[in-house]
Structure 1
């Protein structure tokens, strides 16, 4: 028996990150999805050009994930993660650790990328506290997006994500973002902006290394419109952190699981962080879940400091390592391996790059940035910043494609199961939408 989801009202649900009044006048409802395509409530077919919210590289409603969750919930629907456990969470942690760098084998489960960032903040604090240090400052970047919990908002370099929420964490210092106008329409890593890694050294010189706990970086700044790191930038950040005993945190919530090459950003860029956050593709978007992975030494310092038999880290969530989420995660990681999806993404990336760059001749396109299976298409603002992007996302939906927009930046992130014909369809629909927008 199916679920009855008919409703006569759209008023009660407060929709996140959405123009609620505009949406409820002309709703865009999805009633079904399979593979690369969704079906809207009018019966139209929509190709998913952003893998949902970068969540579903293996496609919507994968039958193996559905079956794994179904089987798990016939045995366990909930187990308290505080003081008890179940086999699925330990099995998933082991599988995740096989994908991460050799020195990073300790996995803490959460329910979202936002929770992963707040957890990483608290782990960094606990680590320095256990060492007897008072490193109370954190470094972030302009144009950074690190989720929507208070810790993530405090680290946010997107002004609209902070404007209505003045009571955030103090002692956050911002480096500049790395985008410059020197290398427009340059695919992959650019040369311009690498010198901005020295902003970290300036912060150290200004505040003292002994006060700085961690640096939070999206290796590829995703939600702001795909900003790949300039050549040598991450390497220099790592050098400065090492010289000053500062933890380096990679926010791999979007970048992880093959999106920008390799398994995670550490593989793609040859720089290993101390802490990694992940979510989204961990379960192929099927069930909310995130994780924080840390260097073994961080785990050892925190746990060894506590008395035997006592709680070492006073942190966790009611749904950390939920059985159904773990089942979805295990099935997803198995699918990525069995179907060779990371390799498929790597093989498709050059064609995807070439296809997206073909939009560079359009009069509304200001810049295009690509890396791996992700690209940002930045539009000239009109009549005010963000307005053209909002309209483009809406119009694109009715032309048969979903693409995530942040401001005037459309972020393409195809599923790894996409074929060349699917990429072509995405670019054709993107161009058709641009052609129809008001000048």
Structure 2
């Protein structure tokens, strides 16, 4: 009998897999990172500490989420207290739990949508899947079955569940699954040209479009704030053509751009808003969507024919995650952290502009709130710059377009920001000269 090992060896055509830990690395070519991974064991405010004791300034707030900093004891206590009372209970049919209800009421108070209903789940990718499903379900219920296409922007990132993969504007996240779009009926629009967006809507036909999904400020796509008139044009097209506007505020929500939601900063009135990361600052996996009355009211009518939105998951409204989120929202308010971002923004902008002015290898800097991107000349390898920065004690990440991510926790000091950007300046120069 042929053994599994022999079968694997045959399948690999004599190639030997790299050895490494059992954990599959995310978003990476495994041989390029196995043996080089940094194992983070502790966090301290704006810093994390590796297994071998290296202290690193977290210039990206993890994956854009560690807004209030790492290892806050108040949140650990909130989780402990809740688990000692009730770890969780599901929210299916007649059942719910007190913390899911309490969190939803608090979220409704700060919602960018007036009088919303809130669907809770486990994160941003979950939220995008729910929002896209609900958009199509809305038009089916309305008796307009041709409205199925979901439009999203070039360079967009909306997580990596089925819908997030399908509407990604980063082509490498959509490739390799056997079809052009994992979920059919999706298409991309220009990331910055409102007139091209108009043409795409006309070509596909508004009668076929269910929704347009957009990040107010693109994150993974290179930190792209909206060009003048862009978001306003999208909102106008949605209103004039009966297309739902879905805002992905997984990164921008809960203060990252200096307002509670970017919807407020840019004067938008969306139909659905997705959120995650900043709702707990990463202390518990939690996300969800705000649903406008236009969408939720038909599902609440007191009638035997009222439709059901067939969605739910075991951990939707997880009681411990909700308790952590409630405490986190209290910290945001009590410490005026959203206002702090707004007040810190001019210094943040000036520091990035100063970096661009003094380093000829910086092509452009872009920013909004505490969300920044530093684009380098193509000849300077951005991933190598990130490696050099780690050696210096600072974390950045490579983004699309040879761009470095700058998104520190809200508690960052001006001194820490300047040290971070000085290390970036130095690392860019070293890599350019190598």
Q: Same fold (TM over 0.5)?
A: yes
Give the direction of change, closer, same or farther, for the CA distance of 1:284–1:369 in structure 2 (3 Å limit): same
Indicate conservation of the 8 Å contact 1:30/1:41, yes or no: yes
Q: How many residues align?
A: 409
Indicate conservation of the 8 Å contact 1:131/1:301, yes or no: no
Is 2:60 the partner of 1:71?
no
Give per-residue Cα distances to partners, 1:196-218, cap 9 Å, x unaligned: 22333223322221111000011
Indicate conservation of the 8 Å contact 1:303/1:313, yes or no: no
- Work out the CA distance in 2 between the residues paired with 1:159 and 1:137: 18
Structure 1 counterpart of 2:219: 222
Structure 2 counterpart of 1:151: 163
CA offset at residue 305 of structure 1?
A: 9.0
CA offset at residue 311 of structure 1?
A: 7.1
Structure 1 counterpart of 2:109: 98
Structure 1 counterpart of 2:424: 430
* Secondary structure at the counterpart of residue 85 of structure 1: coil
* Secondary structure at the counterpart of residue 25 of structure 1: coil
* Secondary structure at the counterpart of residue 164 of structure 2: helix
* Secondary structure at the counterpart of residue 301 of structure 2: helix
Structure 1 counterpart of 2:270: 273
Indicate conservation of the 8 Å contact 2:299/2:307, yes or no: no
Alignment counterpart, residue 396 of structure 1, candidates 372, 389, 394: 389
Indicate conservation of the 8 Å contact 2:38/2:50, yes or no: yes
* Secondary structure at the counterpart of residue 256 of structure 1: coil
Indicate conservation of the 8 Å contact 1:127/1:301, yes or no: no
CA offset at residue 245 of structure 1?
A: 1.1
Structure 1 counterpart of 2:16: none
Alignment counterpart, residue 349 of structure 1, candidates 323, 340, 345: 345
- Work out the CA distance in 2 between the residues paired with 1:152 and 1:42: 36
- Work out the CA distance in 2 between the residues paired with 1:335 and 1:244: 41
Give the direction of change, closer, same or farther, for the CA distance of 1:305–1:174 in structure 2 (3 Å limit): farther
Give the direction of change, closer, same or farther, for the CA distance of 1:252–1:353 in structure 2 (3 Å limit): same
* Secondary structure at the counterpart of residue 22 of structure 2: coil
Give the unaligned 5+ runs of structure 2: 1-18
Indicate conservation of the 8 Å contact 1:209/1:246, yes or no: yes
Alignment counterpart, residue 170 of structure 1, candidates 174, 184, 205: 184
Structure 2 counterpart of 1:373: 370
**Matching of residues 31-70 of structure 1 within 5 Å:** 31-70=41-80
Alignment counterpart, residue 91 of structure 2, candidates 81, 102, 105: 81
Give the direction of change, closer, same or farther, for the CA distance of 1:176–1:166 in structure 2 (3 Å limit): farther
What TM-score, normalized to structure 2? 0.90
Give per-residue Cα distances to partners, 1:156-182, cap 9 Å, x unaligned: 11011112233312221211112xxxx
Indicate conservation of the 8 Å contact 1:274/1:295, yes or no: yes
Structure having the higher Rg: 2
What TM-score, normalized to structure 1? 0.89
* Secondary structure at the counterpart of residue 155 of structure 2: coil
Give the direction of change, closer, same or farther, for the CA distance of 1:204–1:68 in structure 2 (3 Å limit): same
Considering only aligned residues, what root-mean-square deviation do their CA atoms show, in Å? 1.7
CA offset at residue 398 of structure 1?
A: 2.1
Structure 2 counterpart of 1:405: 398
Indicate conservation of the 8 Å contact 1:130/1:305, yes or no: no
Farther-moved stretch of structure 1 (196-205 vs 142-151): 196-205
Indicate conservation of the 8 Å contact 2:113/2:291, yes or no: no
- Work out the CA distance in 1 between the residues paired with 2:36 and 2:202: 53
Indicate conservation of the 8 Å contact 1:110/1:319, yes or no: yes
